[in-house]
Amino acid sequence: MNTRRDFLQKLAGSTMAFSLLTAVAPSCAGAAEQAYDGPLLRVAIMGLGGYGTRVAEAMQACKKAKLVGVISGTPSKVTAWRAKYNIPEKNCYNYDNFDKIKDNPDIDAVYVITPNALHHDQVIRVAQAGKHVICEKPMALNAKEGEEMVAACKKANVHLLVGYRMHFEPHTLEIIRMRKAGEFGQILFFQGLSGFAIGDPTQWRLNKQLAGGGSLMDIGIYSINGSRYMTGEDPVWVTAEETKTDPQKFKEGVDETIQFQLGFPSGAVASCLSTYSMNNLDRFFLNGTRGYAELFPATNYGPIQGRTHKGEINQPVVTHQTVQMEEMAGIILEGKQPVVPVNGEEAVKDLKIIDAIYLATQTGKKVPVNLV
C-alpha cells in the first residue's frame, strides 16, 4: 500500500496531479488542512449504480481512501467513470475478468455494491485475489452464506468490512456514548421504524432471486442492526408477522411489511417495523429508567437529527460515506478499532436475526436466536 506522497509522485508534472490534489486535500468536514502524507487505501468499486456513484462522489473528500478502479458489466459506465475520476484503463474490469486484480498491485481493496444475491460469490473471488473487501449490507442472503464469506476472507488473510455507515455517524455515536456512560439508566425498550414506498416494480430489489427477500433485506436491516447498537445487546429471541397488501407488486418471497419484536438478555425488548409501502418511517427511539433518546431521521443520508431527555443532540453533520471510507481505511491500514464493529462477523449476526425473523413469519412462533 503506497503513501499518498508515492501516489502523487507518480503523477507529478501532469494535469491529473493537480486535479487529484484539489479533490483529496479537503478534510471530511470540508475544512482546509495540511496535506495528508500517510498511508493510502486504493479502492475499486464493483457496481456502478446509484449507491456506487454516491460512494464515489463522497470519496473525493477522503484523505486516506482513493478511488482508483472500477468493476462493471456496463462498458458505457466504465468509460464515463474513467473520464470523471481519472481512472487508468488497467484498473478497469468486468464481472468475468475481475479475478485478474490479483496481479494489479495498484488496487488494495474492492467495495462490492451489487445486488444482494451476488455478494457471496463476488466477495469470495475478491478475497481469493488477495484484496481486502468492503461489502454492502446485507452482506449475504443468509447466515450460512455470510459465514462462508468470513471464512474465505480469513483464509486469504484479508479484511472483510461491511457498509454500516451509521456506525460512524456522530449523532448515533453520541447516543451510544451516553448509553455506555449510564445516562439512560437501565435500557428497557427500543423502537425502530424503517420504511418507504418503493417505486418501479421491475427493479432488482423486488426480485427474489437478486434481493433474497423484500423490505427486510433492504431497509429493515437498519432497525435490526440499530436495535443492537442502541441497546448494546444482542437479541435472544424474535417474533414476527408479515403483512402484504399488494401481492402483484410484492410476489412470493418478497416481503412488503414485517413487524418484528426482539428480546434481549437484560429483559429489554424491541418493537420494529420494516416496510416498502409507507413513507416517513425512519425513526429510532430508546427508553431507559433515567432517560430517552430519539433519532428522526435515524438512518437516511442526512442530516440526522436527534434529541434526548437532556435536549437536542448537537453533533456535526457529515457525509456518511466519506466518514465511512476514511474510518475503514483507518481500520485496514492502521488497525483502528471502531466503536461499533463493521466486520463480517457483525454482519453474520444480522443475517442470523434475519433468518430467525423470516422463520418466525412462516411459523408464527417465537424463535430463539444464538449469536455467540
Residues carrying an active site annotation: 137, 222
Tell me how far apart the alpha carbons of residues 281 and 295 are, in angstroms, rounded to a whole number.
Answer: 11
Three cell numbers written together for 240: 414476527
DSSP secondary-structure letter at 365? S
Strand 160-162 with 132-135, pairing: parallel
Q: Which residues contact 197 (CB under 8 A, 6 or more apart)?
A: 276, 277, 278, 279
Query: How wide is the angle at C-alpha 133 spanned by C-alphas 127 and 134, nearest 5°?
Result: 160
Q: Rounded to an integer, what distance in angstroms lies between the CA atom of residue 265 and that of residue 200?
A: 41
Tell me the backbone φ, ψ of residue 12, rounded to 5 degrees. -55, 140
Q: Which of 188, 177, 191 is nearest to 290 (CA)?
A: 188
CB 129 within 8 A of CB 283: no
Is the Cβ–Cβ distance between 134 and 110 less than 8 Å? yes
C-alpha cell belonging to residue 173: 455515536
Q: Virtual CA dihedral for 159, 164, 169, 173, nearest 10 degrees?
A: -80
User: Which DSSP symbol is given to 304?
Assistant: -
List the strands of the sheet with 257-263, edge to edge. Answer: 311-312, 306-308, 292-295, 281-288, 187-195, 269-275, 257-263, 237-243, 367-368
Q: Is 269 helix (H, G, I), strand (E, B) or coil?
A: strand
C-alpha closest to that of 198 among 278, 255, 141, 254: 278
Dig out the grid coordinates for 162 from the structure. 461491511
